[in-house]
Amino acid sequence: MIARVAGTEPSGAAKVPVEDRLFSLVLALVATETGLLKSEILSTVRGYAERYDASGSNANLERQFERDKDEIRDLGIPLETVESPDRPGDNQSLRYRIPKGQYELPEAVRFSPDELALLGLAAEVWREASVSADSQRALTKLRSLGIEPRDPVIGYAPRLRVRDAAFEPLRQALDRRQTVRFRYFKPGEREPRVRTVDPLAVVLHEGRWHLHARDRDVDEPRTFLLSRIVGEVQPVAGSTFDAPPPGIQDRVIAELDALRLSNVADLAVTAGSDAEVRLGKRAVDGDEDAGVIRLHYTDEAVLADELAAYGPEVRVLGPASLRQAVRDRLRLVADAHRGRSER
């Protein structure tokens, strides 16, 4: 039997801070080998025990425990549930524990001062709040090893922004292997269409974020541009899927690279223009004197947007579809800005 002690504290005792409760819970679950019953946790662990009612239902406290478990697991701490061999399926006899071997960083994973300096710079890259927070938490964990990083890499300020609203919900869906639904606006289609997909990988290629996913409606893998996802990414309740093969993200990048190499645009650029200098740096071939360059591209609509920005500095020679796409864009812009604003 577990004695109920803390619950008898005088009312008005200072509330136990959340991190104190979580810390006490982790300590208790790491220390146990056989696991603790939920009733044991709620009645003894600091932060719960003060509010435990031995004769009541403790429904609030149980919900608190469920949320705390999720939060601890979100931090990468392997909180396990063990079924009682005698009473499978009985929720009240489930035991909880954190196996020490899976909690601790493996012995082989140690970092040199140089590596830590590089990791510090890698964490600095992220401007997007949630990824940045994840990176910083990882650094905090690695600091526990007590290695002082070599002086920060000077002369660099690398930054990666994420401007697609779909990024964070998709990253969560990847982690939870959660099916999601969103509206997708494919170039050439009249309006956005609803897609239901199992997200497998999210990759940045040629400056654009792509989602690789299994499209549930056609049961085929598809790659989507995050910038063309319209509105919210919604989880499909109760629908999850198996983990994709390891390294799938590298395969997706290789596929996008192959796609890029298979697309060839021929452009005429104005001598001495911004287009000549900047597009010229990406050229794979060309005749400088004739002002003609050739470059590869992944997505025709994306390149057409970029080329439209150069206005008269660049003219598409081919392919015809790209030529028309750029022309359509310039016409759209010219028409929208003709005359005085009607408003």
Partner 1 sequence: MNESRRKPLKASDKLVFLLSLVPYLLEQQVVDVPDAAAHFGVTDDEIRDAVRLIATSGLPGATGTYQPNDLFDIDWDAFEDDDVIVIVHHVAIDDAPRLSAREAAALIAGLQYLSALPENAGSASLGALMQKLTAGASAAPTRLAVAESESDASLAAIRAAVADGRQLEFDYRNAVGVAGRRRVDPLRILSQDADWYLQAYCHTREDVRNFRVDRMSDLVVSDLPIGEHAETVVPDTLFQGSDSDFDVVVDALPEALPLLADYLADSKSEEVDGRLRVTLRLAHVHGLKRLVAGLPGLVTVVSPAEARAAVAGWATAGLAGYADDEASGH
Q: Which residues contact 233 (CB under 8 A, 6 or more apart)?
A: 166, 169, 170, 173, 180, 181, 182
Task: Considering the complex, state which of residue 33 and residue 85 has its C-beta at the smaller distance from partner 1.
Answer: 33
**Could you tell me the smallest distance in angstroms from the CB atom of residue 83 to partner 1?**
21
**Could you tell me the smallest distance in angstroms from the CB atom of residue 153 to partner 1?**
9
Task: Considering the complex, state which of residue 94 and residue 268 has its C-beta at the smaller distance from partner 1.
Answer: 268
Task: Considering the complex, state which of residue 60 and residue 87 has its C-beta at the smaller distance from partner 1.
Answer: 60
**Could you tell me the smallest distance in angstroms from the CB atom of residue 146 to partner 1?**
4
Check if the beta carbon of residue 164 is closer than 8 Å to that of residue 131: no
**What's the CA gap between 22 and 28, in Å, rounded?**
10
Task: Considering the complex, state which of residue 220 and residue 335 has its C-beta at the smaller distance from partner 1.
Answer: 335
Task: Considering the complex, state which of residue 87 and residue 204 has its C-beta at the smaller distance from partner 1.
Answer: 204
Alpha carbons within 13 angstroms on the beta-carbon side of residue 59 total 1
**Could you tell me the smallest distance in angstroms from the CB atom of residue 88 to partner 1?**
25
**Could you tell me the smallest distance in angstroms from the CB atom of residue 37 to partner 1?**
12
**What's the CA gap between 197 and 235, in Å, rounded?**
10
Instruction: Please give the backbone phi and psi of residue 50, each rounded to the nearest 5 degrees, phi first.
Output: -60, -25
Check if the beta carbon of residue 203 is closer than 8 Å to that of residue 167: no
Task: Considering the complex, state which of residue 90 and residue 104 has its C-beta at the smaller distance from partner 1.
Answer: 104
**Could you tell me the smallest distance in angstroms from the CB atom of residue 224 to partner 1?**
14
Burial annotation 49-71 (CB, 10 A radius, 16+ → b, else e):
bbbbeeeeebeebeebbeebbee
Q: Which residue has the tokens 């063990």?
A: 82
Check if the beta carbon of residue 231 is closer than 8 Å to that of residue 182: yes
